[in-house]
Amino acid sequence: MSTNHDTHDHDDHGHHHKETFVTKYIFSQDHKMIAKQYLVTGTIMGVIGVLMSIMFRMQIAWPEEPNVLFEALLGKWAPDGVMDADIYLALVTIHGTIMVFFVLTAGLSGTFSNLLIPLQIGARDMASGFLNMVSYWLFFLSSVIMIISLFVEAGPAAAGWTIYPPLSAVEMAQGGSGMGMTLWLVSMAIFIASSLLGSLNYIVTVINLRTKGMSMTRLPLTIWAFFVTAIIGVISFPVLLSAALLLIMDRSFGTSFFLSDIFIQGEVLHYQGGSPVLFEHLFWFLGHPEVYIVLLPALGITSEIIATNSRKPIFGYRAMVASILAIAFLSTIVWGHHMFISGMNPFLGSVFTFTTLLIAIPSAVKSFNYITTLWKGNLQFNPAMLFSIGLVSTFITGGLTGIILGDSALDINVHDTYFVVAHFHLVMGISALYGMFAGIYHWYPKMFGRMLNKNLGYMHFWITAICAYGVFFPMHFIGMAGLPRRYYTNSNFPLFDDLSDVNVIITVFAIIGGIAQIIFLYNFFASMYFGKKATQNPWKSNTLEWTTPVEHIHGNWPGEIPHVHRWAYDYSKPGHDVDFVPQDVPLKEGEEELQH
């Protein structure tokens, strides 16, 4: 704990004697700087991930046509500008890996858990600043290794982001399963270590370092979400690590955990007795909770932003906390719905259908509570608010189709088609991305002391919102027409010829949506230097982070840490002149705290 910073006065932070460039900007142990490091790294990874998706979307829309972009970016993988089938699969694989883990796990949780946990619970810093720093640098290292894997001679990992063996285990099965897959596994193992260090830190900080008066029932929903996310991460990520390690053993040390009876390219391999289904179980034991690791922080951020910008308390605080907990619990017992047709016992299919559809209940409660929070509000459409409402919209649209995919009888026919792609992109991809954008727009003043340009923000939101639906809504229909995902081209199936126009439309929306992100990038980087100086509490918010000075200081508060006297959602409370009452304002005489 950083009690040693307590003595630092606000005035002397500029000429802090111990801080050098390296300790301040590179090997920083300050949670605010680490948050920014996560954000910038995540953003860079995001740009790469989105660029990849645009490339493979172009290939799907205009199959095997030469493209200058391919020629410039893919080099030997696009002879004469025509994308190679192997690199297509590699792009799909790395796009998924980067977006799920590097952007929406590390970029989202890493940024906002680090930034907000100490600030919103009233702590000087994370429980362990050193572990926090190590966590970021492990993440950085894993990002670098993942990027390096793109330049491997035989190509990067190309077995899909789920890297099911034997495809990922046997080098003869696919070029990308050689050095590319080794680097993928090493990168992910380091990533998991980073994620675990981060999560442990978040949990310990939330439990131990809350300021006086910050009881668990007064915690902002953001913190609840980050806290529970960290717990899910600690429970499930180690299982993926075990899967990755066992896969490394199978690949390099001759074991047979996941492999058995393989005949490939005229050769019988020695593996015997293992089962790929075991890998699927291990993978999805993380893989499904991972969806909520990505989504819950976004929902937490949204809860905070919707309440602040509606100038209303979040509706049903207790139910919101309960549904976060319910989702977290259920998320660990539904993984089998990814495996209905994997060859596991059909009875298990029934069990997982049951648990899976139960998740719809807390999700429905959350959606309705968001909508009710808007009701009779005084909505301030700051860009963060737009992205939050956008999140609720895509969360509903994407979530509803989960009712079909979670139903084993229906899953048989749409499993691994574009219907699945549309579903999870809307419900976790776009929703979580919106949550991340919302968070950036909302807390940018806290992170960089300057404001983002709102008009660019509006442009960014509306173009992105239209393109997101333009890409993923029609995609349900090509899925329901039976088109499998991860096909390099559909030209060998005349059956799907009448879907080629939909694919072109989807790609055009994807390209426009991708280009629209330049508006954001520009706003993001330019505002660091040219943005309007932020005031201390620009959104008139109740939470504690807005009681800290705009200029960052070690230890967050120049004097004593504020004490908390109320929950975070006293917006427009009767009996007060202003429409917000920050958490550190004592109750007036005779004022009652809401029982929640």
- Does 593 sit near another protein (CB under 8 A)? no
Nearby residues of 61 by Cβ (< 8 Å), 6 or more positions away: 500, 503, 504, 506, 507, 508
Helix (H, G, I), strand (E, B) or coil at 308: helix
Among positions 14, 254, 559, 574, the unique one binding another protein when judged by CB under 8 A:
574
Binding residues for another protein, rule CB under 8 A, total 139
Nearby residues of 66 by Cβ (< 8 Å), 6 or more positions away: 80, 81, 82
Minimum CB–partner distance for residue 75 and another protein (Å): 12
Per-residue x/- mask for another protein, residues 448 to 487, rule CB under 8 A? ---xxxxxx-x---x--xx--xx--xx-xxx-xxx-x-xx
Comparing CB distances to another protein, the nearer of 311 and 552 is 311
185 contacts 247 by C-beta, under 8 angstroms: yes
Residues 14-73 that bind another protein (CB under 8 A): 71-72
Comparing CB distances to another protein, the nearer of 3 and 265 is 265
- Does 361 sit near another protein (CB under 8 A)? yes
Residues 376-405 that bind another protein (CB under 8 A): 376-382, 385-386, 389, 392-393, 396-397, 400-401, 403-404
Comparing CB distances to another protein, the nearer of 205 and 308 is 308
The overall longest dimension of the chain from CA atoms, in Å, is 85
The CA radius of gyration of the chain, in Å to the nearest whole number, is 24
533 contacts 449 by C-beta, under 8 angstroms: yes
Distance in angstroms (rounded) separating the CA atoms of residues 395 and 423: 10
Minimum CB–partner distance for residue 148 and another protein (Å): 23
Among residues 304, 301, 350, 293, which one has the least CA distance to residue 327? 293
Among positions 66, 79, 144, 498, the unique one binding another protein when judged by CB under 8 A:
498
Minimum CB–partner distance for residue 416 and another protein (Å): 5
DSSP 78: S
Distance in angstroms (rounded) separating the CA atoms of residues 69 and 53: 13
Minimum CB–partner distance for residue 256 and another protein (Å): 9
- Does 596 sit near another protein (CB under 8 A)? yes
Per-residue x/- mask for another protein, residues 422 to 451, rule CB under 8 A? -----------------------------x
Distance in angstroms (rounded) separating the CA atoms of residues 34 and 414: 42
- Does 413 sit near another protein (CB under 8 A)? yes
Minimum CB–partner distance for residue 216 and another protein (Å): 18
Name the segment binding another protein (CB under 8 A); options: 38-46, 131-139, 346-354, 558-566. Answer: 346-354
Among residues 145, 321, 151, which one has the least CA distance to residue 225? 321
- Does 585 sit near another protein (CB under 8 A)? no
Buried b (16+ CB within 10 A) or exposed e, 386-409: bbbbbbbbbbbbbbbbbebbbbbe
Name the segment binding another protein (CB under 8 A); options: 10-18, 26-34, 184-192, 305-313. Answer: 305-313
Minimum CB–partner distance for residue 200 and another protein (Å): 33
Distance in angstroms (rounded) separating the CA atoms of residues 111 and 484: 35
Among positions 70, 139, 448, 569, the unique one binding another protein when judged by CB under 8 A:
569
Distance in angstroms (rounded) separating the CA atoms of residues 325 and 477: 34
Comparing CB distances to another protein, the nearer of 561 and 581 is 581
Distance in angstroms (rounded) separating the CA atoms of residues 476 and 414: 10
Name the segment binding another protein (CB under 8 A); options: 23-31, 46-54, 232-240, 363-371. Answer: 363-371
Distance in angstroms (rounded) separating the CA atoms of residues 125 and 132: 10
Minimum CB–partner distance for residue 51 and another protein (Å): 15
Q: Which helix (H) or strand (E) holds 267?
A: strand 267-268
Q: Tokens 């572990």 map to which residue?
A: 131
Locate 326 and state its tokens: 């319910």
Minimum CB–partner distance for residue 471 and another protein (Å): 11
- Does 235 sit near another protein (CB under 8 A)? no
Residues 162-181 that bind another protein (CB under 8 A): 164-167, 170, 173-175
Comparing CB distances to another protein, the nearer of 274 and 435 is 274
Comparing CB distances to another protein, the nearer of 85 and 231 is 85
97 contacts 89 by C-beta, under 8 angstroms: no
